[in-house]
Chain A
């Protein structure tokens, strides 16, 4: 009895913990429920780039990520998939067409020369941009939905500032294709890091000409990626006669290893004109997503209600116990979703609702077995015990086969499918616990209450089929 009481306490604590978890830790919703765009991009091979290596894919990811950030979508995700694909998630994006246009282009890196007489203006614009970036970071940290307008306004100001900076520079012939490599290296002159550049032959000549023009003037060399200034070094006066020759240069400044690597990666990705193609676009409007959530809640609750009613009608007292276990099951499963940070998609919800129906299967097996044992004339207590004991192997086998199907779905399936497989698998796992431990403990507790210890509550018409059963209880 002591063991049951502590188990009962455990179930109670778990249920309460689940409720607290669910209140404090909202379940993440997929794009099909909260609205937004999910794009699959594929890096295309070209003559210059016959194969997409992991390095190159990483460079493309960097470009795409920078563009996504420029779109100003909060909580966006860019990840690599397989050998040549990228998955981009843009929650709540208001203009999917603009996003597609921006993401679909090839990265353009070029080197520009600052216009004479704009030094002061550039310093002011830098100042403005810094403030805007700080502001942006703070707004995104606050992450409140109410601030969406503020973020958008700030984003627009940033865009204007980028544009203003770009206007202070004049384009040259020197583009990213002529940059053969860019890398981060420890600084030769002392501590700190620098970024090395290597140009091909033509690039080397053009770079020499460009640096000769601005050396010692205080004007900057503008390195632009997608029309955005990523670095603006000045050129030392000692290069004023010949420019930087030999096609090798290094940018030094206040770099640490990380920032030097970042810049080198940006330069490399610009040096690598890999076009990307949009393979897939799944966009769902925000209101449509909300409608889906409402529908799913109705479907889930009515599914649960149907199963609850059926169990009580058919299995009586144990059915009621199974119902309590089922409600505990639903709470625990949702809490596990929240804890594992499962992203709930529409198919994922279907998996969960389906698992509600499957979760009582174990109880059906157990209760049928219990009835059978009662009919053979066993006592109530032993019938319940052997119901649980003997049904176990069937329950295990049937759950394992479902899990095998889930595993196949999860490893080989794509995004949408994975959500379903994961929720169903979590559901099956939790149901093993609730059906076996939770309902068993509850049922044995019920058996300790004398007025409830009547075989008719477990198996209607028992007395007519087997008069002994009553006598022995």
Chain B
């Protein structure tokens, strides 16, 4: 298999731009609905989430599934009409309720009413998350700062290891991956109510750190090819480098995605969408390394009149020979 990376670059770029535009549209739509580009979890806006399971659920002795209408009524009597509510669990005997931030007394009152109406709640299966609105902002800001710091750090490192234009296009590729993941989750939020929580920011950071790996592998090969074939046009060099490293770009992402698929399938509710975000971001990362970062670099070098690079003579490309090791 040989890909015409450079020749078909308008196609590759088109796919990326179209995907990102669709994502932006979804984020705009989200903005209208939630006042944020993605459906925000209580980590960022504050609130209380209660997840509870009835005692009868584990012994399968419940009278039947929980009726959401009944729960909604209970919430209304507690003055919590705007809350969102989901009946979950295999037998529909578990509840997930998200309300505005409740203090201890309000929460206990709600739990007592729920117990009185629905039956006993298993205290060992309860999960309570309460985040004050001010803390939500704090989490959000520190998340964004971390993202910015990571971008800066990676940019500096790559400028130090490669040239500045390499680093700039690697950063564009990372931005590409982050935007695609954001767009994907904007759609997920609109269509399936998937929320972006603080783990989502962690996912974005991990994507930034990992997706640049493939780009680095290709750049490494570009640099090597320039050294060994100094007279070649940058387009040919990039074409060769990408094709030579294609299997490893795909396989490194594939092995990582394999372990993420395991988390997605078996890791439970908390980690499910975290794994999904990473899967989407990593696949976008492989795509952007192969098709975007490399072609942009070639395009830029051609435009700025640097298509032919005067390269340094090849450094010692051979491994040093260990005299104690016999050569076969």
- Name A's B-contacting residues (CB within 8 A): 1-3, 32, 35, 37, 40, 94, 96-97, 100-101, 104, 277-288, 291-292, 295-296, 298-300, 302-304, 306-307, 310-311, 314, 346-347, 349-350, 353-354, 356-358, 360-361, 364-365, 368, 372, 379-382, 385-386, 388-390, 393-394, 397-398, 400-409, 411-414, 416-417, 420-421, 424, 453, 473
Q: CB < 8 Å: which of A279, A296, A398 contacts B212?
A: A398
Instruction: Give the CA-CA distance A421 to B123 in the complex, in Å.
Output: 31
Which chain B positions have C-beta within 8 A of A411? Answer: 146, 149
| Pairwise interchain contact A379-B328, C-beta atoms closer than 8 A | yes
What's the dominant secondary structure at chain B's contact region? Answer: helix
Number of chain B residues close to chain A: CB under 8 A: 77
CB distance from B152 to the nearest CB of A (A): 9
Instruction: Give the CA-CA distance A144 to B126 in the complex, in Å.
Output: 25
Q: Is B186 an interface residue (CB 8 A)?
A: no
| Pairwise interchain contact B252-A354, C-beta atoms closer than 8 A | no
CB distance from A416 to the nearest CB of B (A): 6
| Pairwise interchain contact B278-A394, C-beta atoms closer than 8 A | no
Which chain B positions have C-beta within 8 A of A407? Answer: 153
| Pairwise interchain contact B263-A350, C-beta atoms closer than 8 A | yes
Stretch touching chain A among B75-83, B265-273, B296-304: B265-273
Q: CB < 8 Å: which of B131, B134, B274, B318 contacts A386?
A: B318
Name 15 A/B residue pairs within 8 A (Cβ), A-sorted.
A3-B324, A37-B128, A279-B132, A280-B132, A283-B126, A354-B260, A368-B251, A380-B328, A397-B158, A401-B210, A402-B206, A404-B150, A405-B150, A408-B146, A424-B206
Q: Is B15 an interface residue (CB 8 A)?
A: no
Given known A-B contacts A287-B124, A302-B266, A398-B217, A405 and B259 have beta carbons under 8 A apart: no
Q: How many A-B residue contacts, CB cutoff 8 Å? A: 247
B237-274 at interface with A (beta carbon < 8 Å): 244-245, 247-248, 251-252, 254-263, 265-268, 270-271, 274
Instruction: Give the CA-CA distance A390 to B314 in the complex, in Å.
Output: 13
Which chain A positions have C-beta within 8 A of B175? Answer: none
Which chain A positions have C-beta within 8 A of B328? Answer: 379-382, 453, 473
| Pairwise interchain contact A285-B251, C-beta atoms closer than 8 A | no
Which chain B positions have C-beta within 8 A of A381? Answer: 325, 327-328
Q: CB < 8 Å: which of B122, B134, B217, B270 contacts A365?
A: B217
| Pairwise interchain contact A285-B199, C-beta atoms closer than 8 A | no
Stretch touching chain A among B22-30, B65-73, B137-145: B137-145
| Pairwise interchain contact B154-A288, C-beta atoms closer than 8 A | no
| Pairwise interchain contact A401-B213, C-beta atoms closer than 8 A | yes
- Name B's A-contacting residues (CB within 8 A): 103-104, 107-108, 122-132, 134-135, 139, 142-143, 145-147, 149-150, 153-154, 157-158, 161, 198-199, 201-202, 205-206, 208-210, 212-213, 216-217, 220, 224, 244-245, 247-248, 251-252, 254-263, 265-268, 270-271, 274-275, 278, 317-319, 324-325, 327-328
| Pairwise interchain contact B268-A295, C-beta atoms closer than 8 A | yes
Which chain B positions have C-beta within 8 A of A353? Answer: 259-260, 262-263, 267
CB distance from B132 to the nearest CB of A (A): 4
Instruction: Give the CA-CA distance A424 to B207 in the complex, in Å.
Output: 13
Q: CB < 8 Å: which of B161, B212, B256 contacts A357?
A: B256
Instruction: Give the CA-CA distance A372 to B267 in the complex, in Å.
Output: 37
CB distance from A363 to the nearest CB of B (A): 9
Instruction: Give the CA-CA distance A181 to B213 in the complex, in Å.
Output: 59
Kindly name the residue among A101, A299, A349 whose own CB sees the greatest number of chain B CB atoms within 10 A.
A299
